[in-house]
Structure 1
Amino acid sequence: MSDSPDGPEHLDHVARILRAWARERPDLDVRPLGVIGRLHRLAGHLTDRLLVVYRRYGLGEGDFDVLAALRRAGEPFERAPGELAAYTMVTTGAMTKRIDRLERGGLVTRRPSADDGRARVVALTDAGRELFDEAFTEHMRNERSLLDFLTPEEADQLERLLIRWLAGFEGPRPPRGEP
């Protein structure tokens, strides 16, 4: 742990916590808190900034995720509710609530599947696609501005590190369509 060149009064929040723990528990290696604590704080800041854009379009984070999963599907911009739940990593119950809300807003529709009349398909409406495309354009500008705190080289390096670290938790994924 190193001090800021301007002195200890300019340490970030996590650095101050690290100093206190080093003083109180010198028997423990508290350095992991430096990485994990800063990532946790950064995640909160990023989420706050991302939500600003979603709210401008009357969307919540979950709504945005559903619309994004449908838009990424390509023509005809539809998926089964179970697929949407898997792509957005929520339960099917939570997905039903999101779809209900988006359907009330006229952004998606539900219809029986052509392959299995008992199954349902969720599709983007024209209004949903237009709203999402506009929101996504602003979302990408917003994400770009958030990365502007780093140089392009730093952003590339950070991405490589995050890919490696995340793989430790999630492991490699099989190609689409394979078990």
Structure 2
Amino acid sequence: MPMHPFEAGHPEVPDYLSDHDDPAHLFSRLQRVVIHLELLQNEAVAPFDIGFRDFVILATLGKEPSPHELPVTKIAEYVLRPMGSISQALDRVERAGLVSRRASPDDRRSVLVSLTPAGLRFAEDVKASYDDTRKRVFKRLTDGELDRIDDAVTTLLAALDADYQENH
């Protein structure tokens, strides 16, 4: 049986766009991390018949104090997705009875989205599955390794955010 491309011991796929000594090779490794994360995220939410991106919206609302409500624009900002994509996702989770939408009493141009009681329970159940998946991976790393990764990723995100702000 062929080895899964991400299985331990599989030879690393060469990055033909940069030399290994060039820090640009990190983009290839980071892309592998992205692929792994997507696989794990999808694995965690699959039993619940929801896409991970839709779950992120529910989880974002679940972090808000009761009534677990945010304007659509804030949801888009928090989950880093365009408004059109958010609207489609909200249509899906609203049809499933997980959220409700209403006009803002303060600004009728603004739409508020809140978790329904069923949506809150559902989000908590999916989050428990996602937390279990993350713990399964993180238990393979020491606290020191996790701290170093967190510091490095925080630094990288600051650079990416600065680049995005300057170029978009």
Shared fold, TM over 0.5: yes
Q: Which runs of 4+ in 1 moved over 3 A?
A: none
- Tell me the equivalent position of 2:154: 163
Greater shift, 125-134 or 158-167, is seen at: 158-167
Q: In the alignment, what sits opposite 1:91? A: 82
Which among 110, 134, 144 is matched to residue 153 of structure 1? 144
1:12 aligns with 2:11: yes
Alignment of 1:1-179 (within 5 A): 12-14=11-13, 17=14, 29-31=19-21, 32-171=23-162
**Structure number, greater radius of gyration:** 1
Identity in percent: 28
SS in 2 for 1:121: strand
Q: Aligned partner of 1:166: which letter?
A: L
Partner-residue secondary structure (3-state), 1:62: helix
C-alpha root-mean-square deviation of aligned residues, in Å? 2.0
- Consecutive unaligned residues in structure 1, runs of 5 or more: 1-9, 172-179
Report deviation, 1:11.
Answer: 6.6
Larger relative contact order (CA 8 Å, sep ≥ 6): 2
Seen in structure 2, the aligned counterparts of structure 1 residues 170 and 118 have a Cα distance that, compared at 3 Å, is closer
Provide the rounded CA distance (Å) in 1 between the counterparts of 2:91 and 2:10. Answer: 47
- The separation in 2 between residues aligned to 1:132 and 1:55, in whole angstroms, is 13
- Aligned pairs, how many? 153
TM-score scaled by length of structure 2:
0.82
1:157 maps to amino acid: R
C-alpha contact (below 8 Å) 2:45/2:129 kept by paired residues: no
Cα distance in 1 for residues equivalent to 2:140 and 2:26 = 18
Task: Compute the displacement of 1:116 (Å).
Answer: 2.4
